[in-house]
Amino acid sequence: MDFLNNILFFLVAVAILVSFHEFGHFIVARWMGVRVLKFSVGFGKTVWRWQKTPSGTEYALGMIPLGGYVRMLDEREGDVSPDQRGQAFNHKSLLKRSLIVLAGPAANLLLAVLIYWCIGLIGNEDLKPVVGSVVPGSPAEQAGFVPGDRIISIDGRATKGWSEHRLYLLGRVAGRNNISFQVARGGPDTDSLTVDLDQSQSARFDPAVLSRVIGITPNVPEPQATVAGLVAGGPADEAGLKVGDHILSIDGQRVDHWFDLVEQISQVHGNDLTVAIERKGITLEIPVASEVSIVDGNRVRRIGIYGPGSPDLSEHLVHVRYPVDVGLVRAVETTWLMSTLTVRVFWQMVTGSASREHLSGPISIARFAGQSANLGLVQFLAFLAVLSVSLGIINLLPIPVLDGGHLVYFAAEGILGRPLPDQVFHWGQQFGIAFIVLLMALALYNDFLSLLR
């Protein structure tokens, strides 16, 4: 069922994003007076088509739902009668052709703005921006954060929820900029704290930017590291752990709560580990042989125990939503931040300063689509927005066969005062196809690696 769920929502996401992208090309081409011969969502054999008149645009669905295209009247792709040359793409001005090509990526970015705007109007649940703990030696501790601090603003941006400004913070961290926090400490006055990331070794790309980079964690109840159940025949059961045992440490490393326990086990090197427990007032050390399982494509080390139930977070949550005008401004800003972040990460992958494992293929995207849909409408919309931004930015890359490659050709034509020779287009086409194939191969390789971990 998970597999079918992933495939279903993956196809829904692709259909929405591709349709919007191609509609951008389509509507601007029509606006510029170019005759559109075919509008297709999907490649390969046509499984559905509709055409109002013999001379009208053919609308079609292809068998392979991983893309789409808009075919326009163009003398480079076939004979054009003299009376229709004015409607041919290649007869339009350089500016009009550039606008038609640019319209596809622009449509994806516009879609992201609309989605983020809808999310802001609907609202979503977030943790209250209250500090629960401060990581020792972190930039936050050096700045003076203490447990109980309530974050009022970040660099002057009013803060309602814990993760509200994650994208902004990622950008600041990437640039190793100072970040100013305004915090309240129980009274009417507020304090200003400045986190200096310039010399920090923690300044790295990590979505959990507040906890793992800056060094503050939210104020939420942490379940105790107590064994609430055992997997029959699992490592812990075989080793002699019992329900009710309170775990004190893993291989001598202190365990404070259940999440800490999970983290400690995941960092163990090798299969064997020593679990220190408290049982009826007596401290025991029990050797346990851990095992590795694959969960949602990720390699997870386990010892076969269940923790206590999820804590009640109702008192620690806040519903974050925005009025129409503020929501629109935030949507534009979020799309811009996501775009710059996408460009930065892609450039870091090209230069080798970031892992190429960040590149995901259709298998991972399908899994994320299903997981986000299971979490609710807002999460699926957020996933769509991220994917729409990525599609828009990738299509703007200066690679032949992509929209950005066509814009490079047009820029060269504008500089030279004449179109480039057909041979240059031919070579560029071959290079572009080879590059895209290699990129897809790397993405699929990362997908299969994630399944094997």
Query: What does each C-alpha distance from 375 to 82, 140, 182, 333, 370 come to in angstroms?
Result: 56, 31, 32, 25, 9
Question: What CA–CA distance (Å, rounded) separates 412 from 235?
Answer: 65
Q: Helices 403-416 and 94-122: crossing angle, nearest 10°?
A: 140
Which residue is catalytic, options 22, 58, 141, 164? 22
First CA to last CA distance, the chain? 22
Encoding tokens for residue 273?
Answer: 């580990």
User: Cα–Cα distance between 224 and 309 in angstroms, integer?
Assistant: 10
Q: Which of these, 24, 34, 113, 33, lies nearest to 396 by C-alpha position?
A: 24
Answer yes or no: 77 catalytic. Answer: no
Cα(104)–Cα(69) distance, integer angstroms: 10
CB 9 within 8 A of CB 380: yes
Nearest in space to 85 (alpha carbons), one of 33, 38, 39: 33
Encoded amino acid at 367, one letter: R
Contacts of 236 (CB under 8 A, 6+ apart): 227, 230, 275, 288, 303, 304, 305
- The catalytic residue positions are 22
